[in-house]
Amino acid sequence: MAELGGLEGENVTVIDGRGRCAIPGLVDCHTHACFAGDRVGEFDLRSGGATYEELHAAGGGILSTVRATRAAGEAGLRAAVERHRQSMLAAGTTTFEAKSGYGLDRKTELAMLRAIAAEGGVPTWLGAHAVPPEFGGADAYLDFALAEVLPEAARLAEAADVFLERGAFDATRARRYLEACARAGLTLRLHADQFTEGGGIPLAIELGARSVDHLEATRPDGVRQLAASDVCGVLLPVAALFLGRPMPPARALIDAGAIVALATDFNPGSAFCESLPVVCSLACTQLGMTPAEALAACTVNAAYVLGRADRLGRLEPGFMADVVLLDAPDWRYLAYHLGGQHVTLVIARGSVAWDRDAPGRRPAGA
Ligand code: NIG
Ligand code: FE
């Protein structure tokens, strides 16, 4: 502090952080934070034994959120993102990515991307999330999406994403979608190996994707392939927990040398949770990661996924002043205290963005 000169006369706020721990602002590199409605009825059915894939095949699941999202209007979507953004901020997230994919028509997909950007999110076009019922099949839908939506989506989004899975898009269709998106200048990402291994890892590597996300079903060959590449494996332990699926092979990936990030996957169906601290707890208790690995995975490595590793995710000169203060005796309480609420102050881009102790603050989850 003694060497920190040159601030006199500037508009400086002094924050007393004594007794607290400072960590970099958290980076959530995989969310679906733009949606309307909820899936609490489906949650109830799943608790009674129905599976996520069965509900999806019966026209529920993602498609039920599509119906609600199409009806919300752009202002309604923006309000929803703003609400979720506040909950994320209260949990220490200073940068979030969010995907479209609940519109699946031109108007709503583009409205989602605009709403995400307007609320400060990093927008990803998830134009291949599900096949909407008005199309005869996946090929007819992709004909439409690539001709009618991609040109404008490529101007609004930074990346493109696809759900490569049984009942969604297979590897041939995912390739078609991703190759068209790459030609339009978008960074590539994939939802893959969530329920079945469908060739997502080799495809991601071949196409030079930035990340392949989920990986609950990835086996040793996939681990080896991913570890030999610079494609990041984004692990989403809340989704595995929420759907009662096996956890992704985090330890094997890290030990083999893969780049691994952690994210919430926040969405109304498979991961209704905005909290990266909860994700860190799951990483340490279920994925065999250390607290330091978990913190790196939702800061520096997540910044890499978003193409911002040169300015986000570290407390370092030249980086954005995104700082989270924890009222804990040790920063590892972030992961250690499952469900603990230790985030007291969040500084985003150099300004106080959330203060737990300030009167009139917006309560988390409101
Ligand atoms: O990452 N798997 C596909 N997409 C989301 C879930 C979306 C939803 O269920 O609404 C996921 O889990
Ligand atoms: Fe997802």
pLDDT tens-digit readout, 102-160: 999 999 999 999 999 999 999 999 999 999 999 999 999 999 999 999 999 999 999 99
Predicted pLDDT of residue 277: 98
Tell me which residue has its CA closest to atom 6 in ligand 1. Answer: 270
Nearest residue to 340 (alpha-carbon basis) of 95, 32, 18, 21: 21
> How would residue 361 be classed by pLDDT, with cut points 50, 70 and 90?
low
d(C-alpha 159, C-alpha 305), whole Å: 10
d(C-alpha 283, C-alpha 187), whole Å: 27
Tell me which residues have their CB closer than 6 angstroms to ligand 1.
32, 61-62, 65, 163, 191, 194, 239, 265, 267-270
3-state secondary structure of 108: helix
What distance in angstroms lies between residue 343's CA and the mean position of ligand 2's atoms?
A: 25
Q: Best mutation site among 191, 267, 272, 273 for ligand 1, i.e. most ligand atoms within 8 A of its Cβ?
A: 267
What distance in angstroms lies between residue 293's CA and the mean position of ligand 1's atoms?
A: 25
Percent share of the chain, pLDDT over 90: 90
Predicted pLDDT of residue 365: 43
Closest ligand 1 atom, residue 243 Cα: 12
pTM above 0.75, yes or no: yes
Which DSSP string do the residues of 235-302 spell out, in sequence order? E-HHHHHHTTPPPP-HHHHHHHT--EEE----BTTTB----HHHHHHHHHHHS---HHHHHHHTTHHH
What distance in angstroms lies between residue 10's CA and the mean position of ligand 1's atoms?
A: 46
What distance in angstroms lies between residue 191's CA and the mean position of ligand 2's atoms?
A: 6
Question: Whole-number mean pLDDT of the chain?
Answer: 95
Predicted pLDDT of residue 1: 63
Predicted pLDDT of residue 359: 61
Report the pLDDT averaged over residues 202-211. Answer: 98
d(C-alpha 310, C-alpha 154), whole Å: 23
Q: Which residue has the tokens 């979507």?
A: 77
Those residues whose beta carbon sits under 5 angstroms from the ion ligand 2 are: 265
User: Taking the CB of residue 206, how many other CB atoms lie within 10 A of it?
Assistant: 13
Closest ligand 1 atom, residue 65 Cα: 10
Predicted pLDDT of residue 362: 54
Query: Could you read off the pLDDT of 332-342 as tens digits, one per residue?
Result: 999 999 999 99
Query: Could you read off the pLDDT of 272-323 as tens digits, one per residue?
Result: 999 999 999 999 999 999 999 999 999 999 999 999 999 999 999 999 999 9
Predicted pLDDT of residue 58: 84
In eight-state DSSP terms, residue 41 is: H
> How would residue 364 be classed by pLDDT, with cut points 50, 70 and 90?
very low
Closest ligand 1 atom, residue 194 Cα: 2
What distance in angstroms lies between residue 215's CA and the mean position of ligand 1's atoms?
A: 13
Report the pLDDT averaged over residues 238-249. Answer: 97
Predicted pLDDT of residue 164: 98
